[in-house]
């Protein structure tokens, strides 16, 4: 029993995926029973979350399965978070027209979550690469799931092409690492990269490029807006949050385990990358007319903020990255949830579709207020606390200028987030007849929004215990 504990969440996810596929034919006949699939997925994901929380907590940090994975708090925290994000996304799937009745969509979601769980705990290059592919391939398919929609097809195809290219680059880096050291375990590799040489530079560059794509860092961010815009909205939400968090989990594990000594030389490059990522993401977001595209650029900017914590490279820095990712994911899932609901009601993602939203549906307006203010980093929402910790970590490690750049960028972000809220609260619909255009919010979507709003407020105000968890996760790295 104890031997399977490290992969308990993955095993539960696998069982769930197979169950979904087996249940599907039995529900085919009766259209009325199709929503059962969604509820089943959500309930099972939450059950898996509870079971793992109760049974599979790691005691310390230990390698398991022949060194393939590391059973520690960092992996565990991320896994629990992926299960939660998948459950919320499944709720939002139930509200999306062409996804809600397809067992394949839920299966692919579960499979992607499984891959992410493995990514978060992988401690071997072989395992890591397989985990990344197990995450990416279902996501490629989900992004292009709406076959009759040209934009979705384009999104899936672009994502796959870019993803395949960067996977190849990443794999090339891995193969060089193996070639030079003869080892694949991350925790054995660290010893081989003890001095700074030309090989280490090349290898680090290749691996960094591969991972930068996954988290959409500056020179590798081009895919994000097109992919997010075309993908079904809940999928875009999942992509921009859980997938990004998984990429960061790998990034921080790799950089603390394999290249700790190189850090001094790389920090400046990473700091410049973080600056460019934030600035480029924010500046382009300013000019967007579609809220979905604006969120895509803002998600690039947020990867930059999270990167600040990585640059700080202290225990506080890593803890702040973990905390930031979870905070950002809660907020962005909420934002994409709202975009999905409005997009469905208005048939458009333009800013004008949000005019008078607070009068059309007060609850949705409030949720939008929480989501966008939290994205902008306003107290008492979680976006504020998470940014605060990231900047604090930067200052603590002596990166004062980087913290200042981050603060300035947050101000730019505030402008375009408030633009959405301006449409929601101050503008009216064309004929000022909001009463006659209610925005229907289905029950699953409402549940998802309430959970997310509650999460944002809860973690934003009582952040102590949550940050304690993040610190515990970060402590596993050093």
Partner 1 sequence: MDLTLILFIILAVTAIATALGLLISRNAVYAALFLVMNFACVAIFYLLLGAPFIAMAQVTVYAGAIMVLFLFVIMLLGAEKLPKGDVLPVQRPLAIGAAVILLAEAVILLVQRFQSTAMLQAPGTVENSMDSLREMSGLLFTEYLLPFEVTSILLLVAMVGAIVLTKQEKGTRG
In the complex, the residues that contact partner 1 under the rule CB under 8 A are 7, 14, 21, 65-69, 102, 104, 107-108, 111, 114, 118, 124, 126-127, 130-131, 133-134, 137-138, 140-141, 144-145, 147-148
Q: How many other C-beta atoms lie within 10 A of the C-beta of residue 386?
A: 33
Tokens 């333009």 map to which residue? 350
Which of 137/452 has CB closer to partner 1? 137
Closer by beta carbon to partner 1, 66 or else 347 = 66
Residue 22 CB: number of other CB atoms within 10 A?
10
Q: How far is the CB of 66 from partner 1 (least distance, A)?
A: 3
Pick from 451, 457, 449, 456: which is nearest to 365 by CA?
A: 449
H helices of 72-195, where? Answer: 73-93, 103-121, 125-143, 150-181, 186-189
> Which residue, 138 or 210, has its beta carbon nearer to partner 1?
138
Q: Which is nearer to partner 1, 48 or 441 (CB)?
A: 48
- How far apart are CB 29 and partner 1 at their closest, in Å? 15
Least distance (Å) between residue 189 CB and partner 1 = 16
User: Token pair for residue 285?
Assistant: 């977001």
For residue 64, the minimal CB distance to partner 1 (Å) is 9
| Residue whose C-alpha is closest to residue 237's, from 80, 388, 95 | 95
Least Å from the CB of residue 58 to partner 1: 16
Helix, coil or strand: residue 290: strand
Dihedral angle of Cα 467, 471, 474, 478, to the nearest 10 degrees: 160
Q: How far is the CB of 181 from partner 1 (least distance, A)?
A: 14
Q: Which is nearer to partner 1, 109 or 252 (CB)?
A: 109
Distance (Å, whole) CA 300 – CA 295: 9
* Contact of 305 with 324, CB cutoff 8 Å: yes
Using only the alpha carbons of the chain, give its radius of gyration. Answer: 21
Query: For partner 1, which is the closer residue by CB, 105 or 453?
Result: 105
Q: Which of 134, 215, 136, 203 is nearest to 174 (CA)?
A: 203
Is the CB of residue 239 less than 8 Å from the CB of residue 231?
yes
> In the bound complex, what is the minimum distance in angstroms from residue 239's beta carbon to partner 1?
16
Give the residue with the Cβ less far from partner 1, 147 or 422: 147
86 within 8 A of 45, measured Cβ to Cβ: yes
Shorter beta-carbon distance to partner 1: residue 141 or 274: 141
CA-wise closest residue to 366 among 336, 334, 333, 340: 334
109 and 137 Cβ atoms separated by less than 8 Å? no
What span, in angstroms and rounded, lies between the C-alpha atoms of 266 and 278? 18
117 or 335: whose CB is closer to partner 1?
Answer: 117
Shortest Å, Cβ 292 to partner 1: 23
Minimal distance, residue 455 CB to partner 1, in Å: 29
Q: What are the CA-CA distances from residue 75 to residues 250, 459, 474 (Å)? A: 10, 20, 10
What's the closest the beta carbon of residue 51 comes to partner 1, in angstroms?
A: 20
Query: Can you spell out the DSSP letters for 203-222?
Result: HHHHHHHHHHHHTT-GGG-T
In the complex with partner 1, which residue's Cβ is closer, 105 or 327?
Answer: 105
């Amino acid at each position: 029993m104890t031997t399977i504990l490290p992969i308990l969440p993955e095993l539960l996810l696998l069982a769930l995926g197979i169950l979904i596929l087996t249940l599907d034919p039995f529900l085919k006949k009766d259209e009325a029973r199709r929503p059962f699939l969604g509820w089943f997925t959500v309930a099972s994901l939450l059950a898996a979350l509870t079971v793992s929380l109760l049974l599979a907590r790691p005691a310390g940090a230990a390698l398991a399965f022949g060194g393939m994975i590391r059973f520690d708090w960092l992996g565990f925290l991320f896994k629990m978070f992926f299960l939660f994000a998948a459950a919320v996304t499944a709720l939002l799937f139930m509200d999306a027209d062409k996804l809600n009745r397809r067992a394949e969509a839920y299966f692919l979601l579960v499979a992607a979550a499984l891959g992410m769980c493995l990514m978060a705990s992988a401690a071997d290059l072989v395992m890591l690469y397989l985990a990344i592919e197990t995450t990416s391939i279902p996501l490629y398919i989900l992004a292009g799931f709406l076959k009759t929609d040209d934009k979705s097809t384009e999104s899936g195809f672009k994502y796959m092409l870019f993803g395949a290219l960067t996977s190849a680059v990443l794999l090339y880096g891995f193969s060089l690492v193996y070639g030079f050291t003869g080892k694949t375990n991350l925790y054995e590799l660290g010893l081989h990269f003890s001095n700074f040489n030309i090989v280490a530079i090349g290898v680090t560059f290749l691996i960094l490029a591969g991972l930068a794509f996954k988290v959409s860092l500056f020179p590798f961010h081009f895919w994000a807006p097109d992919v997010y815009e075309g993908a079904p909205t809940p999928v875009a939400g999942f992509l921009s949050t859980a997938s990004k968090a998984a990429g960061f989990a790998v990034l921080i594990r790799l950089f603390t385990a394999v290249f700790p000594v190189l850090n001094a030389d790389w920090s400046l490059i990473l700091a410049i990358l973080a600056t460019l990522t934030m600035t480029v993401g924010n500046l382009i977001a300013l000019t967007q007319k579609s809220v979905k595209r604006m969120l895509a650029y803002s998600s690039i900017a947020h990867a930059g903020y999270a990167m600040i914590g990585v640059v700080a490279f202290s225990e506080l820095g890593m803890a702040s990255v973990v905390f930031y990712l979870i905070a950002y994911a809660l907020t962005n899932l909420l934002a994409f949830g709202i975009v999905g609901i409005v997009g469905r009601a208005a048939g458009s993602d333009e800013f004008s579709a949000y005019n008078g939203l607070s009068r059309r549906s007060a609850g949705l307006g409030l949720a939008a207020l929480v989501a966008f203010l939290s994205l902008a980093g306003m107290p008492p929402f979680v976006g504020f606390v998470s940014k605060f910790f990231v900047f604090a970590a930067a200052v603590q490690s002596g990166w004062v200028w980087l913290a200042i750049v981050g603060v300035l960028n947050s101000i730019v972000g505030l402008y375009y987030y408030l633009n959405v809220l301006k449409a929601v609260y101050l503008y009216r619909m064309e004929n000022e007849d909001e009463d006659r255009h209610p925005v229907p919010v289905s029950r699953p979507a409402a549940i998802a929004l309430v959970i997310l709003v509650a999460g944002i407020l809860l973690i934003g105000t009582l952040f102590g215990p949550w940050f304690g968890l993040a610190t515990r996760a970060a402590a596993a790295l050093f």
